[in-house]
Amino acid sequence: MWLTLDGSRTLRINERELFTKAAIKLIQRTLPNCDTISEDLSEYVPASFTQVDPTPCDEPTGITWFDQWDADQRIWLLDQICDALLVDSTQPPHRSAMLEAAIEAVFAVIHAEVNVNDNVFHNQRTTFTGWQQLLLNALQDQSSDTTESFPLEKLESFIVDEAISFTSINAHLQAMIVGPSCYEQAEQFRDGSQSRLEKFLLSKGLPPDYLTQIPPLPSQESTLNSMIHLRSLLS
C-alpha cells in the first residue's frame, strides 16, 4: 500500500492499468542497460519488458532523483514502488525521496506520451484514444471515490468543453497518488543549517533520513528477483 492524499491504499482498477503500462514502458528503456542482466536470464524477463520501444534506451525521464541511479538500481526502485502501489498486503514503505521520485518518473513517461499528440481538446473532439483514454479512466476512478460518482461520459464532455490539457490531468493524478513533492524543497536545505533541514522535514512529517536513503547496488540474484517479482505484478 501507499500513503496517498486520501489515505493508505493501492491503485484502483483504471489507475492500475495506466500506471502499469507506463511502468512497463520505463522498464523497457531501463532493462537493456542493467549490468546484471545477461542472456542467461532472458527466460525470466517477460516479452512485454523487452519489446522494441521507439524511445532510446536509457532516455532520461527528467526526474533527476531517479535518473541519477544505475539501471539496476532503477529496476530495484521500480520493483519497490510497484509492490507498494499494487499489492494490498504490502505495508506503506518508509518515506523517502528516492521512492517518491521513482513514482514521479513513471508519471513523467505518461506526460511525455500525452504530450506527443494533441494535448488540448476542443469542442469538436469527442473521442479519445490510447493514453488519453487511460488518463480519463483513471480520473474517473478517483471521482467515483467521492460521495457522488462522476459518470465517464460527463467527465469526457467536461474535458472537451473546458479544453483541459491531458498533461494537467496527469499532474492531478500524480498529486492525488504520491502527494506534493517534498524532496526538491528539502534539498534546498542540505547545504545550509542541519537544524533548518530537520525542522523542514519535521514540519512535513518526513523521517530524518528522507533525503539520505539510497537504493542498494543489486547483485545479479537481486536484480533477477526484482524482475521475477515485476513480472508477477505487471504481466
Return the pLDDT at 82: 96
Element (H, E) at 232: helix 220-234
Return the pLDDT at 152: 58
Return the pLDDT at 147: 39
Return the pLDDT at 96: 95
pTM of the entire predicted model: 0.85
Contacts of 78 (CB under 8 A, 6+ apart): 23, 26, 27, 30, 102, 106, 226, 230
**What SS3 class is residue 120?**
strand
Cell of 199: 525542522
Q: Which of 36, 32, 26 is nearest to 218 (CA)?
A: 36
- Count how many residues are written for the chain: 235
Element (H, E) at 78: helix 71-86
Return the pLDDT at 155: 64
- The answer to whether the CB of 21 falls within 8 A of the CB of 49 is no
Regions of the chain where pLDDT drops below 70: 35-58, 117-127, 143-163
For 54, 163, 173, the CA distances from 25, given in Å and listed in that order, are 10, 28, 18
Its sign, for the CA torsion 47, 50, 55, 60, is positive
The alpha carbons of the chain give a radius of gyration, in whole angstroms, of 19
Neighbouring CB atoms inside 10 A of 154's CB total 12
Distance from first CA to last CA of the chain, Å, rounded? Answer: 19
